Amino acid sequence: MISGRRVLAAFALCSSALLTMSAAESSSFVKIADFTSPLARVDDWVEQSDTVRKVGMSKAALVLQQTQEFQRAVFFTLLNPQPNGAGFAGVRTFTQLNLTNRSAIVLYCRAQGKNFQYKVVLRHRGLDDEPNPTYEQTFQVQPDKFVLVSLPLKDFLPYYRGQQVKDIPLDVTNITSVGLQVAGGVYLPTKQSGASSLEIDYIRAE
C-alpha cells in the first residue's frame, strides 16, 4: 500500500518536472552554441571548405579563445578563391532543432581582418550533403566592433554551389546542420579573399 506521503512526494516531483518543461518551452531563445560557457566545446564543429573539390585552396577553423577574463570562439578563415570568385571556407555542426516558435538566428560577434561578409548556412531533414541544397543568409559586420546580428528564418533561401535555386522552403521544425561560412562571391558583386576572423560569443534562435 502506498503511503500518503509517497503520493504527495510523487505529485510534487511531477509538478516540478512540468514547471521545468513549461519554463523551457517559454524560454526567450533556443541555444545553438554558447561559447562563453565553461562547458563550451568546438570539437563537434567540422570544416566544410572548398577543398571538398579538387581546385579548392581555402581553409577554416573554429577554436576557443580562453583568457583570464573571458572566453569565446574564433572562426579563422583563409579564403583563396578562383579568379571568378568561386571559393569558400566554413565550418558546421550537426544538430537536431525544432525552431517552430522562433523567428531568427542571432549571433553576437566581431569581425577582424580582410573580410566582413559572412553566411549562416542551415540544412534540414538530415539532407546534410550534396546534391541537396543549403539554406543560406549573408550578413555584413562592421570591422573591429561587436554587433548583434539577427537573421530572420523566413529569409533563409535554398542555394546550390553558391547559386540560388528553386526548392522546398526551409523546414524549421527539423534543422539538422548549422554552419558558418565566408565566400569569394562568385555570383555576387562583392568579391572577397584573404585572411579574416569572426569572434563569436553565442549563436541562438529567438
Domains of the chain, by residue range, sit at: 30-205
Q: Which residues contact residue 28 at a Cβ distance below 8 angstroms, ignoring those fewer than 6 apart?
A: 206
**What is the pTM (predicted TM-score) of this model?**
0.85
CA–CA distance from 171 to each of 1, 98, 133, 137, 144 (Å)?
Answer: 50, 9, 12, 15, 34
State the amino acid at position 65 in one-letter form: Q
- Domain 30-205 CATH superfamily: Galactose-binding domain-like (2.60.120.260)
What pLDDT, on a 0 to 100 scale, did the predictor assign at position 25?
42
Alpha carbons 61 and 73: distance in angstroms, whole number: 10
Tens digits of residue pLDDT in 91-134: 999 999 999 999 999 999 999 999 999 999 999 999 999 999 99
154: three-class secondary structure by DSSP? helix
ω into residue 131 within 30 of 0, thus cis? yes
Segments of the chain with pLDDT less than 50:
1-2, 5-26
DSSP class of 54: T
Strands (E) in the chain, as ranges, are 30-34, 45-47, 59-66, 71-79, 88-97, 104-113, 117-124, 134-140, 147-152, 157-160, 163-164, 175-183, 194-205
Grid cell 500518503 — which residue?
4
What does the angle CA 36 – CA 41 – CA 43 come to, to the nearest 5 degrees? 150
What pLDDT, on a 0 to 100 scale, did the predictor assign at position 18?
33
Cα 153–chain centre separation: 12
What pLDDT, on a 0 to 100 scale, did the predictor assign at position 38?
95
What pLDDT, on a 0 to 100 scale, did the predictor assign at position 92?
98
